[in-house]
Amino acid sequence: MTMDWNFDEAVAHYRSQGAPHDQQALVELLREVQRESGGVIPAGALAQTAAALGCRESFLAAVIRRYPSLRTQQAPHRLELCGGQRCGARHAAQLASFIERTYAVKSGGVSARGGFSYRVTGCMKNCGAGPSLRWDGELVSRADERTVRQLVEGKQLSQPKTERPVQCGGAHQSESGENS
């Protein structure tokens, strides 16, 4: 954390704004902690923040999982897989099972291997080019096991799979994102 930023003062400020009960104030505090910690929230900082606010670390972790811009050291990346029907018809369920088996993770959790949080979402409005996923918020089309392995290992995708969203014809669940 930087010299001119003071953790106790930040906690006092956001407490006065309603944290931890006011989620917006809590998220702003977590963003500051993350920024001052170099871009991810270390486990120690998470514990320190929970203790200062008088709440559980698991509560803070649950809030962090809802906000793509917040990342813990344990899960510096975020994988979202489309669970919509049209991606389902393109074998997204098999891809989900590969992810869950290979990285020991369930939707809503953090992977035991690979360092990412994982969530199955509603339609990503990219049905014509599914299965769709988002890696750190970036849409990837026609995803398969190889794509996921490359993303987790930090490699460039062998073929560009990021495309402009293709609009779907039918009604689907809402896109995932912050502030929902």
136 — phi, psi (to 5°)? 50, 40
For residue 147, which of 163, 137, 162 has the smallest C-alpha distance?
Answer: 162
Among 10, 45, 79, 123, binds ligand FES (CB under 6 A): 123
Which of 53, 61, 127, 152 touches ligand FES by CB under 6 A?
127
* Pairwise CA distance, residues 51 & 75, whole Å: 21
Q: Write out the two tokens for 122.
A: 């509603």
Closest CA relative to residue 32, chosen from 61, 1, 60: 1
Which residue has the CB atom at the shortest distance from ligand FES?
A: 84
Binding mask 67-96 for ligand FES (x = CB under 6 A): ---------------x-xxxx---------
**By CB under 6 A, residue 168 contacts ligand FES:** yes
Asked if 13 interacts with ligand FES (CB under 6 A), we say no
Bond preceding residue 68 cis, omega within 30 of 0: no
Q: Give the nearer residue to ligand FES in terms of CB position, either 117 or 126.
A: 126
Phi and psi at residue 90, to the nearest 5° = -105, 30
Among 30, 124, 133, 152, binds ligand FES (CB under 6 A): 124
> Given the complex with ligand FES, which of 26 and 87 has the nearer CB atom?
87
- Which residue, 64, 81, 66, 88, is CA-closest to 152? 81
| Binding residue (CB under 6 A) for ligand FES from 20, 114, 115, 130 | 130
Contact residues for ligand FES, defined by CB under 6 A: 82, 84-87, 123-127, 130, 132, 168, 172
